[in-house]
Amino acid sequence: MKIGILGLEKLIEVQRSTGTAILIPRINVFMDFPAGKSAEHHAFHEATDKMISELLSEKITALEELCAEIIKKLLEKYAHATRAEIDMEAEYVVLRRTPASGQKTQEMYKILARAISENGNVRKMVGAEVTGMTSCPCAQEGLLERSKKMLEKKFSKKEVAAILKTVPLASHNQRNVSRLLIEVPENYSVNADELIQILENSMSSKIYEVLKREDEVSVVLESHANPNFVEDVVRKILVNVAHKYKNLPDSSVVFVKSESFESIHQHNAIAERISSLKELRREVFSA
Amino acid sequence: MKIGILGLEKLIEVQRSTGTAILIPRINVFMDFPAGKSAEHHAFHEATDKMISELLSEKITALEELCAEIIKKLLEKYAHATRAEIDMEAEYVVLRRTPASGQKTQEMYKILARAISENGNVRKMVGAEVTGMTSCPCAQEGLLERSKKMLEKKFSKKEVAAILKTVPLASHNQRNVSRLLIEVPENYSVNADELIQILENSMSSKIYEVLKREDEVSVVLESHANPNFVEDVVRKILVNVAHKYKNLPDSSVVFVKSESFESIHQHNAIAERISSLKELRREVFSA
Amino acid sequence: MKIGILGLEKLIEVQRSTGTAILIPRINVFMDFPAGKSAEHHAFHEATDKMISELLSEKITALEELCAEIIKKLLEKYAHATRAEIDMEAEYVVLRRTPASGQKTQEMYKILARAISENGNVRKMVGAEVTGMTSCPCAQEGLLERSKKMLEKKFSKKEVAAILKTVPLASHNQRNVSRLLIEVPENYSVNADELIQILENSMSSKIYEVLKREDEVSVVLESHANPNFVEDVVRKILVNVAHKYKNLPDSSVVFVKSESFESIHQHNAIAERISSLKELRREVFSA
Amino acid sequence: MKIGILGLEKLIEVQRSTGTAILIPRINVFMDFPAGKSAEHHAFHEATDKMISELLSEKITALEELCAEIIKKLLEKYAHATRAEIDMEAEYVVLRRTPASGQKTQEMYKILARAISENGNVRKMVGAEVTGMTSCPCAQEGLLERSKKMLEKKFSKKEVAAILKTVPLASHNQRNVSRLLIEVPENYSVNADELIQILENSMSSKIYEVLKREDEVSVVLESHANPNFVEDVVRKILVNVAHKYKNLPDSSVVFVKSESFESIHQHNAIAERISSLKELRREVFSA
């Protein structure tokens, strides 16, 4: 029997090297017990909340560390549990500048953290979720063929190539929400800000809360120069992770998910992948 | 004091001239009472549910008629109430064909119905909600200027004009959800299927649950040939309403709302307008 | 790489032995591919939608059968896929009578269906989701002790026992949403209506869209006579499944989840269990 | 035409007399224009965001002040607009102690702020949203009658009265979300913490993120000693407002809304009231 608490919220001050971040994560806690030996929910909830409250009065340097500490305390109390999992998800604000006009913006992201205990081992993951933009490669290619055919009636092949290099061809594009979680082994650390950067660089374009017209033009240009299906976004994130985290051990697990709120459909497209860094490195560096 | 019931659901068979539609609307009921003279919630809920159940055993030809009937029964029971309102919102499936390949699709919409009683008068509204696509005029214009300037270095003005007429220029585009409600006076009728058509024709492009590549190209072309801000969508819907419903009286009220899930921002853009047909006609036909 | 479609909706007529049910399930489709050999999303979506559309023109007797048929077709097209999964979730209306006054009500449930292919094997599951009520055993017990102590100052132990048997003691209670899915092997069938019954009988009390006062009293009495933590609800569902489905093979998998929207907290409590019927039977019948 | 921005988010440091609160409100901005003279959405959005960003670099003492400042700036830019409205909604954490065991808890609320401009007048409102618990008076009364009748077969009327005074009778209870907004005239101020207190004191009982068993018993006792329909909650909030804010002018408007997530139904019950303090005072103090 798995029992759990969904949607606990706590204000947490995280002492990062770059300063104190005040986060209010939404917290889920799960614990698995052998059949017939489950904890009683009221007692489980009271114990969990007490542990979290006590840990909040100590110095916290990262959400995933806090997750791991809670898991350890839970396992001390419930030694017969077969598995424990805790995950946190918090809004996170970063100051940035827009791409063309360079004006300041506040951008919103999510920081993710998770700890899982199986067979006495506590594994930690840190992650981020980013909203960006994807442009569809398929529609763009269709329009490329069509435009080429039409232009070639009036212009030389060389001219047509020049035109199509100059003019950004339409496609459909949409909001995309992607998330990346990386396992952080003991004595290693991974910075959520870097994960945000990887995610943004793997989409067709970043997006911004405010855009002057020249910024908007720049975003649309970038997006259409980088058309991506959701599976392409996942692939790019994985490649970027492989290049960025050369120091992490082979055993580290990477989880990536990308979801597009399709503008040409009412439903959504998703892609996801779970992989060890070992597997990922083999694919990326031996290709 | 206003008291209300949110989210009641009933399976309703509507006998339309084109056949029987089976709908499961989400129903909200509200009633306003003078201070100190409110109905007791349990009794109000029991009475409302009983009235709806009784009406369901009779023949129903339109959701807005059902709304009006419930209001009338409520006012008989609660004669001292100062206002009553009921609204319904149901998923609705229409069979269509895709624009280029002509294959069959099932498309999902919402049918809306509402009745309001004020000063002894019961007013009925029928409506629809449609998901479609909008392309941004602003970004497209920016890209037009940029492309023009770059092309004019190599081509004559005439050639540039020809190129820009041929090649569909990029913009950002997104899911748009728009709704339209029209007041239906006694002895008139308005068909929800027509409202769906008006809504779809007022967006940058319709969207479809499935699209062959040639359909996708067609949708993107149409969308970029009709760039619209949300306020443009609202304006087009209103103009289309004015042309379509010449028979309805001047006093009929029209409500329109359009919301775009911006692909270049994390937040949404909306526009809305409430207007009488009289006001609308003056604007549309004297312009 | 897993790719998927989220939130496809189709109107489906299911020919059940008891009549035709018209359902509009929300459909999710997922397919796993070896690294570097993923399907392209546009093609995958077009193929999936075409398969579903073709199957909709044939006779459908159960949603889980439809799920399995789609999976089989997907595997024919994408032979190199390592896994495929499809799940459906549809609103479902049942006519019932209230417990005390016996008046007719329409009650809303969800029918669930799922098919998964792994290692060439397609497994089907049918399920249901029910909203009901749970009363907390812990608070009730605390109030029992308190009441006992206070009553024993004035009444004999025998009298106190008689009083506490007569008077329904307060507790906190809340909306509970529970779901049950059972694997249906080839040549077996499981009726979703029976699953709904099992779910309702395993909560503290069923709930109804409308209740006369005598019905409300009856529901509250039943609920407080059957206090349950979420894990108790899961346990009861499993026991009821073991007793009901003696004909299903040992290998059938049962999934149960229960979530309470706690009235004394802002967060929710959940419990869940995945078990084979073999494991379940050992626990239930050898205890 | 009304145009608007939905769901803008900004990190805002509010310098309150009790310290600095860091809030990330969800912001909606709306502006009404005469027919045919609407602002263009891109320009409107850019201007609004720029104004907010500039104001964020100044000292902010209350969200409603910030709302009013934005409105004033918007009206300077769009002098022909007929109406402007801005509302903010932010998560807000308060440290509290549980009722019986006195342990520390973090409780989550929402702070609300709004400014509206009509006819050149900017009006500000401050508010709060609280989740608490309501117990149903109707079911409890039904059980009281039933228990009385059964007890009177064995006990004297006096004894029965004593028993029913001692034993907390069951009812159904549920999560309730209530909100209160009060207009704050120029040179007055209203503290959101006080509004939270009023809301909590007007429900059947406060709720807590963690409760020892003795706290849980205390919460259930309090809740069942104060049964309330949603309209009762609204009424109590209004009475509490009338008593608390004797200094505010008659013209101040009060908005109250209460919604119960009924445990015995799948749908919700709501009540709401908009009233001037003048009207409210007449009702409360002349009764």
pLDDT digits (tens, 9 = 90+) for C221-237: 999 999 999 999 999 99
pLDDT of residue D210: 85
Give me the amino acid identity at B55: L
CA angle D154, D156, D162 (to 5 degrees): 105
Give me the amino acid identity at D92: Y
E strands, B24-82, where? 26-32
The answer to whether B8 and D265 have CB atoms below 8 angstroms apart is: no
Report d(CA B24, CA B89) in Å as an integer.
8
pLDDT at D287 over 80: no
pLDDT at D147 over 90: yes
What are the angstrom distances between the C-alpha of D68 and each of D58, D79, D91, D122, D181?
14, 16, 20, 7, 15
User: Which residues, 6+ apart, have CB-to-CB distance to B218 below 8 Å?
Assistant: B99, B100
pLDDT at C261 over 80: yes
Whether residues A24 and D91 touch (CB distance < 8 A) is answered with yes
Whether residues A268 and C7 touch (CB distance < 8 A) is answered with yes
Query: Average of pLDDT values for A50-77?
Result: 94
pLDDT digits (tens, 9 = 90+) for B198-227: 999 999 999 998 889 899 999 999 999 999
Whether residues A267 and C9 touch (CB distance < 8 A) is answered with yes
pLDDT of residue B287: 61
pLDDT at D220 over 90: yes
Whether residues A262 and B172 touch (CB distance < 8 A) is answered with no
State the complex-level ipTM.
Answer: 0.92
pLDDT of residue D19: 86
> Taking an 8 Å Cβ-Cβ cutoff, which residues of chain A contact chain C?
1-9, 35-36, 38, 40-42, 45, 136, 138, 229-231, 234-235, 259, 266-273, 275, 279, 283
pLDDT of residue D16: 87
Whether residues C213 and B53 touch (CB distance < 8 A) is answered with no
pLDDT at D18 over 90: no
pLDDT digits (tens, 9 = 90+) for B73-95: 999 999 999 999 999 999 999 98
pLDDT of residue A52: 93
CA D111 to mean position of chain CA atoms = 8
Burial of D127 (0-12, 13-18, 19+ CB in 10 A): buried
User: In D, which residues are within 8 Å of B270 by CB distance?
Assistant: 2-6
pLDDT of residue D135: 96
Report d(CA C195, CA C211) in Å as an integer.
23
pLDDT of residue D218: 93
At residue D119 the predicted structure's pLDDT band, cuts being 50, 70 and 90, is: confident
At residue C103 the predicted structure's pLDDT band, cuts being 50, 70 and 90, is: confident
pLDDT of residue A287: 61
> Does the domain spanning D2-136+171-285 belong to CATH 3.10.270.10?
yes
pLDDT at B286 over 90: no
> Taking an 8 Å Cβ-Cβ cutoff, which residues of chain D contact chain B?
1-9, 35-36, 38, 40-42, 45, 136, 138, 229-231, 234-235, 259, 266-273, 275, 279, 283
Task: Count residue pairs from C and D with Cβ separation < 8 A.
Answer: 157
pLDDT digits (tens, 9 = 90+) for C119-157: 889 999 999 999 999 999 999 999 999 999 999 999 999
DSSP calls for C143-175: HHHHHHHHHTTTS-HHHHHHHHHHS-B---EEE
Report d(CA D175, CA D193) in Å as an integer.
21
Report d(CA D114, CA D123) in Å as an integer.
8
CB atoms inside a 10 Å sphere around CB C59 = 9
pLDDT digits (tens, 9 = 90+) for B118-173: 888 999 999 999 999 999 999 999 999 999 999 999 999 999 999 999 999 999 99
CB atoms inside a 10 Å sphere around CB B239 = 17
At residue C287 the predicted structure's pLDDT band, cuts being 50, 70 and 90, is: low
Give the largest CA-CA distance in chain D. Answer: 79
Task: Count residue pairs from A and C with Cβ separation < 8 A.
Answer: 105
Query: Average of pLDDT values for C74-103?
Result: 94
State percent of chain A over pLDDT 70: 100
- Taking the CA of residue A142 and the nearest CA in chain B, the distance in Å comes to 6
Query: Average of pLDDT values for B221-247?
Result: 96
User: In C, which residues are within 8 Å of D261 by CB distance?
Assistant: 175, 261
Where exactly are the structural domains of chain B? 2-136+171-285, 137-166
User: In D, which residues are within 8 Å of A42 by CB distance?
Assistant: 213, 216
pLDDT digits (tens, 9 = 90+) for C1-44: 999 999 999 999 999 888 899 999 999 999 999 988 989 888 99
The answer to whether B223 and B204 have CB atoms below 8 angstroms apart is: yes
pLDDT digits (tens, 9 = 90+) for D38-94: 899 899 999 999 999 999 989 999 999 999 999 999 999 999 999 999 999 999 999
User: In B, which residues are within 8 Å of D136 by CB distance?
Assistant: 42
pLDDT of residue C18: 81
- Taking the CA of residue A9 and the nearest CA in chain D, the distance in Å comes to 7
Report d(CA C78, CA C75) in Å as an integer.
5
At residue A120 the predicted structure's pLDDT band, cuts being 50, 70 and 90, is: confident
Burial of C76 (0-12, 13-18, 19+ CB in 10 A): exposed
Report the chain B residue with the minimal C-alpha distance to residue D269: B5
